[in-house]
């Protein structure tokens, strides 16, 4: 067993908010404590070198978990270690990169100045900064904006700047809270590629996301949170493959009689411009349909046994939280 | 340490790129410049007015910067969440807070330096505007015993020289190469004012590390006022003690006044403007106020760090 690079045990966070409210509609102001259990007894192990996805609907506690790990807020209960050391260890912080959710930075700084300042905080020498910063700006596609104050950055540009600052120190672990939010499809793909290249370099990537399709493609393992509780954790195919599969059969040039006959056999039927698509759950029926298509004058275009997508898993298992 | 400086320098940069600072500075300089054109008074009367006005405005604007920049310093970082990517870098939270404090102090002191420079120049300029001095320089006795009246050009040259020389002398004073008895006193008074601002800035940061900017501003102003009244409160408490206590409420009042006077900073130590007005009081650099200012600021900062270290950054 490899040593987990991130480990949490019984990690619990209860937010206590002081709310000034009126009682029973009367003007009697009193201080109430409203408690929100954002994280309930979370046990996680993330292995070195893997891409780990923290998934869950809005308000599930993803950001809370990352903030506790980053030492921004303190857990109400439980413990966590990063690289085997307790949270807040400075030598560990030196090899961590962190991109917060919807990041915001000093808007009076120019792109280059911003990275230069953060490089100083990492304790990088002037020479190292001079070398690293242009590389990173290039990597995240912000070379053209290095002299522009962050005030003038778009949401996606800020996200990229945030990513650049998280990579200044060639981190061993990168924590990314929704790295793809605010990015266009190109940007999302770039991030995906970037995460994969980080893994290639041996870094561990811990990220939270809503974009399940992307998480599905790149994650080695995922944890699924709902209402602060860990629902599921494991390799993507462990979580998904055990569940029902669907079979998709696409065909063309079928006679109308044939189409209506097959439609009756399948769970779902979709008519496309040139082809028709049958979706069935049982393998025997799928094979029967395929045989009929082959025997007919029509053509079989494709036959795809499909695993359940993460999205379907989500919708089936997790009710949206009332935030 | 280099990380603290990086934070301090960035804080300075933030303030410098903030328009409010320039508005304050220009305003302060205008007030001082206007003090230079007070009517037909003797030099010493003029100097007194200018000194009073100059020192008051330096203290006042220093205080304004300390309060208005100081209260937002920590709060804005939390509010805009810029702090998230700072304290997750390999620095400690106390380094962040100390860096912020030093950065703000640097901002205030540089502003004061600019104000003092300008202020000294205005003072030196008065020396050139004295009637006797001016006529001696401008009216030239000719061979036939008559006095040639000055030309426009010679007037212009005289004013130009006055301005250049005043600025040069002001610069010389700041670099400690040149001084007059008055300007030496001014420098010391301003120096004491800087110590006072170090304490007030500490309070601004302390308050802003746990409350909103508006509340911090009010608390800081309150602290300043109590601090300035500190000596009076001590006198008041002593007098109560001399009279003796008849009731327990009196005793309570005494204890309260005593505690208030000893917990709040004694800012009276740093207010030397009035001694400057009395000619025969020489202002000296004393060890006690300097130590008091430094230690008190350090204590306040320590308290702020203590609170800040345990905060959840939501
Ligand atoms: N500062 C706070 N004070 C009180 N409650 C909070 C605070 N921050 C978060 N919460 C609550 O904690 C729960 C988890 O929030 P969290 O931000 O961790 O969710 P999330 O999974 O990151 O959601 P999203 O996908 O929307 O970013 C929510 O119910 C939220 O209302
Ligand atoms: Mg979140």
Check A93 against B14: CB less than 8 A apart: no
Check B10 against A117: CB less than 8 A apart: yes
Dump pLDDT digits (tens) for B9-28: 999 998 888 887 888 888 88
Residues of B in contact with A73 (CB under 8 A): 312-314
Alpha helices in B141-284 (DSSP H): 152-174, 181-208, 213-243, 248-263, 273-277
Residues of B in contact with A74 (CB under 8 A): 310, 312
Quick one: pLDDT at residue B180? 76
Ligand 1 pocket residue status of A38, Cβ below 6 Å: yes
Which among A42, A61, A70, A322 is the best mutation to test ligand 1's pocket, defined by most ligand atoms within 8 Å of the CB? A61
Is A94 found in the same domain as A68?
yes
Q: What is the 3-state secondary structure (H, E, C) of chain A?
A: CCCEEEEEEEEEEEEEEEEEEECCCCCCEEEEEEEEEEEEEEEEEEECCCEEEEECCCCCCHHHHHHHHCCCCCCCEEEEEECCEECCCHHHHCCEEEECCCCCCCCCCEHHHHHHHHHHHCCCCHHHHHHHHHHHHHHCCCHHHCCCEHHHCCHHHHHHHHHHHHCCCCCCEEEEECCCCCCCHHHHHHHHHHHHHHHHCCCEEEEEECCHHHHHHHCCEEEEEECCEEEEEEEHHHHHHCCCCEEEEEEECCCHHHHHHHHHHCCEEEECCCEEEEEECCHHHHHHHHHHHHHCCCEEEEEEEECCCHHHHHHHHCCCCCC
Find, among B134, B73, B81, the residue nearest to B101 by Cα: B73
Shortest Cα distance from B314 to chain A (angstroms)? 7
Give me ligand 1 centre to Cα B207, in Å. Answer: 27
Q: Give the rounded percent of residues in chain B with a pLDDT score beyond 90.
A: 29
Q: Is the pLDDT at B226 greater than 80, yes or no?
A: yes
Quick one: pLDDT at residue B291? 94
Check A96 against B88: CB less than 8 A apart: yes
Measured between alpha carbons, how far is residue B247 from residues A281, B98, B240, B244, B250 in Å? 91, 46, 12, 9, 5
In a domain, A146, yes or no: yes
CA dist., res. B26 & res. B65, Å (int): 13
Ligand 1 pocket residue status of A187, Cβ below 6 Å: no
Find, among A161, A95, A112, A28, the residue nearest to B82 by Cα: A161
In a domain, A108, yes or no: yes
In a domain, A314, yes or no: no
Q: What is the CATH number for A157? A: 3.40.50.300
The pLDDT-based confidence of A319 (bands split at 50, 70, 90) is low
Find, among B95, B108, B74, the residue nearest to B313 by Cα: B74
Report for A22-36, B43-57, B124-138, B282-296: range of highest mean pLDDT: B282-296
Dump pLDDT digits (tens) for B160-171: 898 899 899 889
The pLDDT-based confidence of A88 (bands split at 50, 70, 90) is confident
Q: Is the pLDDT at B280 greater than 90, yes or no?
A: no
Average pLDDT of chain A is: 86
Is A275 found in the same domain as A188?
no
Check A108 against B13: CB less than 8 A apart: yes
Q: Is the pLDDT at B221 greater than 90, yes or no?
A: yes
Check A106 against B82: CB less than 8 A apart: yes
End position of a domain, from candidates A239, A274, A293: A239
Is ipTM beyond 0.85? no
Closest atom of ligand 1 to CA, residue A65? 18
The pLDDT-based confidence of A27 (bands split at 50, 70, 90) is low
Residues of A in contact with B91 (CB under 8 A): 90, 93, 121
In a domain, A96, yes or no: yes
For CA atoms A61, A63, A65, A68, the dihedral sign is: negative
Find, among A70, A114, A76, A77, the residue nearest to A92 by Cα: A70
Is A255 found in the same domain as A197?
no
Check B86 against A121: CB less than 8 A apart: yes
Ligand with an atom nearest the CA of residue A210: 1
Average pLDDT of chain B is: 85
Is A209 found in the same domain as A67?
yes
Residues of A in contact with B17 (CB under 8 A): 108
CA dist., res. B170 & res. B115, Å (int): 11
Is A263 found in the same domain as A196?
no
Closest atom of ligand 1 to CA, residue A61? 18
Q: Is the pLDDT at B220 greater than 70, yes or no?
A: yes
For chain B, domain boundaries:
2-213+272-310
Q: Is the pLDDT at B147 greater than 80, yes or no?
A: no
Residues of A in contact with B85 (CB under 8 A): 98-100, 103, 105, 118, 162, 165-166
Quick one: pLDDT at residue B270? 85
Find, among A253, A215, A261, the residue nearest to A235 by Cα: A215
Quick one: pLDDT at residue B199? 94
Q: Is the pLDDT at A175 greater than 90, yes or no?
A: yes
Q: What is the CATH number for A261? A: 3.30.70
Domain assignment of residue A225, given as a range: 6-239
Give me ligand 2 centre to Cα B88, in Å. Answer: 17
**Does residue B72 contact residue B208 with C-beta atoms inside 8 Å?**
yes
Shortest Cα distance from B93 to chain A (angstroms)? 10
Report for A99-108, A301-310, B130-139: range of highest mean pLDDT: A99-108
How deeply is A128 buried, as exposed, middle or buried, from its count of CB atoms within 10 A (0-12, 13-18, 19+)? middle
Both structure tokens of A9: 């045990």
Residues from A contacting B (CB-CB < 8 Å) are 15, 67, 70-74, 90-91, 93-94, 96, 98-100, 103-106, 108-109, 117-118, 120-123, 162, 165-166
CA dist., res. A159 & res. A204, Å (int): 20
CB-CB: which of B14, B80, B89 is closest to A121?
A: B89
Quick one: pLDDT at residue B250? 81
Quick one: pLDDT at residue A21? 47
Find, among B209, B176, B195, B312, the residue nearest to B265 by Cα: B195
Quick one: pLDDT at residue B86? 93
Letter string b/e over residues A16-43, b meaning 16 or more CB atoms within 10 A of that residue's CB: eeeeeeeeeeeeeeeeeeeeebbbbebe
The pLDDT-based confidence of A23 (bands split at 50, 70, 90) is very low
CB-CB: which of A67, A109, A122 is closest to B89?
A: A122
* Mean pLDDT computed over A279-302: 88
Q: Is the pLDDT at B61 greater than 50, yes or no?
A: yes
**Does residue A54 contact residue A206 with C-beta atoms inside 8 Å?**
yes
Shortest Cα distance from B89 to chain A (angstroms)? 6
The pLDDT-based confidence of B278 (bands split at 50, 70, 90) is low
Which among A36, A99, A177, A318 is the best mutation to test ligand 1's pocket, defined by most ligand atoms within 8 Å of the CB? A36
Is A300 found in the same domain as A281?
yes
Ligand 1 pocket residue status of A100, Cβ below 6 Å: no
Q: Is the pLDDT at A191 greater than 50, yes or no?
A: yes
The pLDDT-based confidence of B279 (bands split at 50, 70, 90) is low
In a domain, A77, yes or no: yes
Quick one: pLDDT at residue B45? 76
Check A74 against B89: CB less than 8 A apart: no
Range from A48-57, A239-248, A294-303, B178-187 carrying the lowest mean pLDDT? A239-248
* Mean pLDDT computed over B26-35: 81
In a domain, A109, yes or no: yes
CA triple A173-A176-A177, angle to 5 deg: 145
In a domain, A317, yes or no: no
Ligand 1 pocket residue status of A209, Cβ below 6 Å: no
Give me ligand 2 centre to Cα A53, in Å. Answer: 13
Total count of domains within chain A: 2
* Mean pLDDT computed over B176-199: 86
Dump pLDDT digits (tens) for A39-80: 999 999 999 999 999 998 888 899 999 999 999 999 999 999
Quick one: pLDDT at residue A323? 44
Check A123 against B3: CB less than 8 A apart: yes
């Amino acid at each position: 067993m490899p040593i987990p690079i991130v480990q949490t045990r019984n990690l619990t966070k209860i937010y206590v908010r002081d709310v000034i409210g009126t009682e029973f509609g009367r003007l009697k102001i009193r201080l109430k404590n409203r408690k929100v259990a954002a994280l309930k007894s979370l046990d996680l192990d993330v292995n070195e070198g893997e891409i780990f996805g923290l998934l869950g609907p809005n308000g599930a506690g993803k950001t809370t978990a990352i903030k506790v790990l980053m030492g921004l807020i303190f857990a109400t209960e439980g413990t966590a270690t990063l690289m085997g050391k307790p949270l807040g260890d400075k030598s560990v912080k030196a090899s961590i990169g962190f991109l917060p959710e919807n990041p915001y930075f000093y808007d009076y700084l120019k792109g280059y100045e911003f990275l230069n300042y953060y490089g100083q905080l990492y304790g990088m020498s002037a020479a190292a900064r001079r070398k690293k910063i242009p590389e990173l700006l290039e990597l995240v596609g912000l070379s053209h904006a290095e002299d522009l104050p962050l005030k003038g950055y778009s949401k996606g540009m800020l996200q990229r700047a945030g990513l650049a600052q998280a990579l200044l120190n060639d981190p061993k672990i990168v924590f990314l809270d929704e790295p793809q939010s605010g990015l266009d499809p190109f940007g999302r793909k770039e991030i995906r590629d970037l995460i994969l290249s980080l893994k290639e370099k041996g870094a561990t990537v811990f990220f939270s996301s809503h974009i399940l399709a992307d998480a599905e493609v790149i994650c080695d393992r995922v944890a699924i949170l709902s209402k602060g509780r860990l629902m599921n954790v494991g390799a993507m195919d462990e979580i998904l493959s055990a569940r029902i599969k669907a079979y998709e059969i696409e065909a063309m040039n079928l006679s109308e009689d044939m189409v209506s006959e097959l439609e009756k056999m399948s769970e779902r039927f979709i008519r496309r411009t040139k082809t028709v698509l049958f979706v069935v759950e049982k393998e025997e029926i799928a094979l029967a349909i395929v045989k009929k298509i082959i025997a007919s004058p029509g053509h079989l275009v494709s036959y795809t046994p499909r695993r359940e997508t993460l999205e379907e898993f989500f919708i089936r298992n997790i009710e949206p939280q009332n935030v | 340490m280099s990380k603290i400086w990086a934070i301090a320098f960035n804080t300075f940069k933030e303030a410098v790129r903030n328009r409010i600072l320039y508005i304050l500075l220009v305003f302060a300089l205008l007030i001082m410049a206007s003090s230079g054109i007070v009517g037909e008074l003797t030099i010493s009367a003029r100097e007194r007015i200018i000194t009073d006005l100059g020192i008051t405005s330096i203290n006042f604007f220093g205080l304004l910067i300390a309060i208005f920049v100081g209260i937002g310093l920590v709060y804005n970082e939390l509010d805009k969440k810029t702090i998230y990517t700072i304290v997750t870098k390999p620095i400690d939270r106390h380094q962040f807070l100390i860096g912020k404090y030093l950065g703000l102090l640097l901002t205030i002191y540089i502003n004061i330096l600019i104000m003092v420079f300008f202020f000294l120049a205005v003072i030196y300029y008065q020396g050139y505007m004295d009637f006797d001095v001016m006529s001696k320089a401008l009216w030239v006795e000719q061979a036939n015993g008559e006095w040639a009246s000055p030309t426009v050009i010679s007037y212009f040259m005289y004013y130009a020289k006055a301005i250049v020389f005043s600025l040069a002398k002001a610069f010389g004073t700041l670099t400690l190469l040149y001084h007059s008895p008055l300007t030496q006193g001014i420098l010391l008074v301003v120096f004491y004012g800087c110590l006072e601002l170090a304490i007030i800035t500490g309070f601004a940061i302390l308050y802003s590390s746990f409350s909103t900017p508006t509340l911090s501003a009010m608390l800081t102003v309150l602290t300043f006022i109590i601090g300035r009244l500190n000596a009076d409160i001590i006198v008041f408490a002593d007098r109560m003690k001399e009279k003796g206590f008849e009731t327990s409420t009196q005793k309570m009042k005494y204890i309260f006044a005593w505690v208030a006077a000893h917990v709040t900073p004694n800012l009276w130590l740093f207010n030397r403007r009035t001694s400057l007005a009395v000619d025969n009081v020489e202002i000296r650099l004393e060890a006690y106020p300097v130590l008091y200012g430094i230690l008190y600021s350090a204590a306040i900062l320590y308290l702020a760090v203590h609170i800040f270290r345990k905060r959840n950054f939501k």
